C-alpha cells in the first residue's frame, strides 16, 4: 500500500498547495481520502503523479467542509466512483454526490476497500470519520 498526498497546505516544488487535504491510497484499488478544496488543485497535482479520475474507484470524505469536499467534481468524472460520506452530511452535499456517482452513507465502522476501514462516525464539535489501514509489518 502506498500513500500519496495530493493536496495539503504545503507542497513540494512543482506542486500546488491550498487550504485542504487529499491523500491517495494505492492498494488493490485506489481510494482517495478527501478531495481538497478545489478540483483545479487536485487535478493539477494528480496529473503530476500521472493519476486520472478513472483510476480512482472510491472516495472517503472525512467531514462535510469545503476544503475536504471541494475536488469532488474532478474525481466524479469517473461515473463509477463510490463516495463514502457520513449519513449526517448535509442534504446538499449528499445530493451533489448522487448527481454524478454512487453515495455510500456511513454511520458505523465499515471496510471501504480491502484493508481500508472507516472509523464510522466520530463526533466532537463536528461529525467526521477517519481511516485505518491494515498493513504488513516489515522487518
**Non-local CB neighbours of 90 within 8 Å, separated by 6+ positions:** 64
pLDDT of residue 49: 97
Per-residue pLDDT of the chain (139 residues; tens, 9 = 90+): 899 999 999 999 999 999 999 999 999 999 999 999 999 999 999 999 999 999 999 999 999 999 999 999 999 999 999 999 999 999 999 999 999 989 999 999 999 999 999 999 998 889 999 999 998 876 5
Domains and CATH numbers, the chain: 2-133 (3.60.15.10)
> Is the distance from CB of 7 to CB of 45 less than 8 angstroms?
yes
Q: What's the predicted TM-score (pTM) here?
A: 0.94
Angle at the Cα of 8 from the Cα atoms of 5 and 13, rounded to 5 degrees: 80
Amino acid at each position: 500500500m502506498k500513500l500519496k498526498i495530493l493536496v495539503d497546505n504545503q507542497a513540494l516544488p512543482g506542486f500546488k498547495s491550498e487550504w485542504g487535504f487529499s491523500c491517495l491510497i494505492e492498494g488493490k484499488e485506489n481510494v482517495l481520502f478527501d478531495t481538497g478544496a478545489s478540483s483545479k488543485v487536485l487535478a493539477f497535482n494528480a496529473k503530476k503523479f500521472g493519476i486520472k479520475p478513472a483510476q480512482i474507484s472510491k472516495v472517503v470524505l472525512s467531514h462535510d467542509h469545503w476544503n475536504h469536499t471541494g475536488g469532488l467534481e474532478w474525481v466524479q468524472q469517473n461515473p463509477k466512483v463510490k463516495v463514502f460520506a457520513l449519513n449526517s452530511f448535509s442534504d446538499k452535499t449528499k445530493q451533489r454526490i448522487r448527481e454524478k456517482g454512487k453515495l455510500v452513507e456511513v454511520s458505523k465502522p465499515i471496510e471501504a476497500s480491502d484493508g481500508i476501514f472507516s472509523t464510522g462516525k466520530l463526533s466532537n464539535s463536528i461529525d467526521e470519520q477517519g481511516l485505518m489501514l491494515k498493513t504488513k509489518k516489515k522487518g
